[in-house]
Amino acid sequence: MSLRLLVRVGLPLSLVACSASMPDPMMMGEVDAGSPYPVLAKAKAKKVQVGVGFACALTTTGTVRCWGQASTNTAGGDGMAYHFGSPAWLKDIPEPVEVAGVSNVTDISIAYSHVCVLTSAKKVLCWGRNSEGQIGNGTQDNVLAPFEVPLSNVKKVRVGTDHTCALLEDGTVRCWGSNLDDQLEDAPVTINADRWAPLKIPYVTGASDLMVSGKTNCVVMNGQVRCWGALLPTAGGALDTDAPPRLLNVAGLTELVRARSTACGIVGGAAKCWGDPSGGNLGTGADLGDPQQPMPANVRGLDTGVTSMSNGCATAGGKVWCWGDWPQRYGDGTTKTRSLLPVAATGLTDAVQVSNGFETTCAVTSAGTVYCWGDTHAGQAGIGTPFEDVSLTPQKVKSFE
């Protein structure tokens, strides 16, 4: 006897013992011959998010599909499979599976190894790694199935490396998880368990937007961007020394990306970066030994029409552009490990959104197709089997238009 994963389409996943022969198709819905994964109906993606070794996409019908590495705490993906919203998936999954118990999703956010989604009911569901209480369920136990965070009237949710924040419709913010870099600021944390559930962030009132990147949080208040947590590279005195949340002197910032000692964002449709130029991470042609960039500078050639940004990548003019010291990031068919200026991925002409995690990049097109490239050793390309350890050009993910 051997174990095979059986999935009843549309119902929660389960682990079933069966013989080495193919299971009854009536129990699984349609399946590929020799594959334990259900054949999902074609869907259009609205947004893709990439973690470390895995990716998930929000569909236009409000469901979530994930693929890649099952977990990040064990070699080869064995053990706790907490990326896919079910304890059934114990191995890496090289093609999308639908997360059970999740519907009517309007937004998704992924950072290192946990996932949070916002529903049309203005609720937040999270699952995945929970070593710092970033799921918000009051524990540090990894969460295998979507957990409803005890919040209501949520406008936006964003995850950081090991914490999570939510903007409520009343303009206040709740955060939970790690407080190592003051991500929870002066919220009332007296014992560790206090931070394992949502805490109201003092000083934040009337916020209209929320941005989280790494261990840094920012909100828009009265037209100003104010931040707390890990300090960003200064931008002409960008972060003042006043009481938090501190002013970030980057007017019009609508998306924040922090990577190493560099910060980037979208300002008025332009991709701008500031901080340390090492490795070309500013995208301006500057490199190690060049002066620090104190004020946001335009990434070369991306001064208009930018629709999304991720670490060292942006979408503009239907293309995905990447730059900096990021091996396997570029998707142009070469093995280059760094570029001082943006490089366009091969074959993409209608990309509208990009996300990356470590050395894997994925993008969504205007048609709702998803492409991934870079490090694909755990099936992050989403193409099924067989797959390559590294994909140098964009690969079309299965089950999307």
SS3 letters for the chain? CEEEEECCCCCCCEEEEECCCCCCHHHHCCECCCCCCECCCCECEEEEEECCCEEEEEECCCCEEEEECCCCCCHHHCCCCCCCCCCCCCCCEEEEEECCCCCCEEEEEECCCEEEEEECCCCEEEEECCCCCCCCCCCCCCEEEEEECCCCCEEEEEECCCEEEEEECCCCEEEEECCCCCCCCCCCCCCHHHHHCCEECCCCCCEEEEEEECCEEEEEECCEEEEEECCCCCCCCCCCCCCCCEEECCCCEEEEEEECCEEEEEECCEEEEEECCHHHCCCCCCCCCCCCEEEEEECCCCCCCEEEEECCEEEECCEEEEEECCCCCCCCCCCCCCEEEEEECCCCCCEEEEEEECCEEEEEECCCCEEEEEECCCCCCCCCCCCCCEEEEEEECCCEC
User: What integer best gives the mean pLDDT of the chain?
Assistant: 84
pLDDT (0 to 100) of residue 76: 32
The proportion of the chain whose per-residue pLDDT surpasses 70, expressed as a percent, equals: 84
Contacts of 386 by beta carbon, 8 Å cutoff, 6+ apart: none
More confident residue, 377 or 19: 377
Q: What band does 108 get if pLDDT is binned at 50, 70 and 90? A: very high
Cα gap 65→166, rounded to integer Å: 22
- Summarize pLDDT for 293-339 with one digit per residue, the tens: 988 999 999 999 999 999 999 999 999 999 998 877 899 999 998 99
- Summarize pLDDT for 204-225 with one digit per residue, the tens: 999 999 999 999 999 999 989 9
- Summarize pLDDT for 117-134 with one digit per residue, the tens: 999 999 999 998 999 999
pLDDT (0 to 100) of residue 39: 84
Q: Which of 320, 329, 304 is nearest to 369 (CA)?
A: 320
Domain residue extents for the chain: 1-39, 44-247+347-396
Q: What band does 16 get if pLDDT is binned at 50, 70 and 90? A: very low
Q: Which amino acid is at 245?
A: P
Q: What band does 242 get if pLDDT is binned at 50, 70 and 90? A: low
Q: What is the mean pLDDT of residues 388-401?
A: 94
pLDDT (0 to 100) of residue 7: 30
Res. 19: pLDDT tops 70: no
Name the strands in the sheet holding 207-213, side by side, starting at the edge strand that comes first in the sequence: 207-213, 216-221, 224-229, 246-248
More confident residue, 139 or 23: 139
Q: Which of 109, 208, 207, 203 is nearest to 164 (CA)?
A: 109
Q: What band does 35 get if pLDDT is binned at 50, 70 and 90? A: low
Neighbouring CB atoms inside 10 A of 294's CB total 14
Give yes or no for a contact between 381 and 390, defined as CB atoms under 8 angstroms apart: no
Q: What band does 90 get if pLDDT is binned at 50, 70 and 90? A: low
Neighbouring CB atoms inside 10 A of 53's CB total 25
Task: Enter the tokens of residue 311.
Answer: 């670490």
Look at domain 44-247+347-396 and name its CATH class: mainly beta
Res. 20: pLDDT tops 50: no
pLDDT (0 to 100) of residue 230: 84
Tell me the backbone φ, ψ of residue 255, rounded to 5 degrees. Answer: -150, 135
Q: What band does 387 get if pLDDT is binned at 50, 70 and 90? A: confident
Long-range CB contact pairs, 197-201, < 8 A, 24+: 197/133, 197/136, 197/137, 197/138, 197/150, 198/136, 198/149, 198/150, 198/151, 198/166, 198/174, 199/174, 199/175, 200/172, 200/173, 200/174, 201/165, 201/172, 201/173, 201/174, 201/175, 201/228, 201/245
pLDDT (0 to 100) of residue 73: 47
More confident residue, 72 or 192: 192
Rg of the Cα atoms in the chain: 21
Res. 21: pLDDT tops 60: no
pLDDT (0 to 100) of residue 75: 29
More confident residue, 39 or 57: 57
Neighbouring CB atoms inside 10 A of 117's CB total 27
pLDDT (0 to 100) of residue 241: 53
Kindly report whether the global pTM for this prediction surpasses the value 0.85: yes
More confident residue, 401 or 84: 401
Q: What band does 234 get if pLDDT is binned at 50, 70 and 90? A: low
The proportion of the chain whose per-residue pLDDT surpasses 90, expressed as a percent, equals: 61
- Summarize pLDDT for 139-194 with one digit per residue, the tens: 998 888 899 999 999 999 999 999 999 999 999 999 999 998 889 977 777 777 78
Give the lowest-confidence range in 29-33, 197-201, 369-373.
29-33
Give yes or no for a contact between 364 and 58, defined as CB atoms under 8 angstroms apart: no
Q: What band does 26 get if pLDDT is binned at 50, 70 and 90? A: very low
pLDDT (0 to 100) of residue 269: 97
Contacts of 45 by beta carbon, 8 Å cutoff, 6+ apart: 57, 58, 59, 60, 364, 368, 369, 370, 400, 401
Cα gap 252→370, rounded to integer Å: 29
Block residue for tokens 């070369």: 300
Residue 53 CA to its chain's centroid (Å) = 11
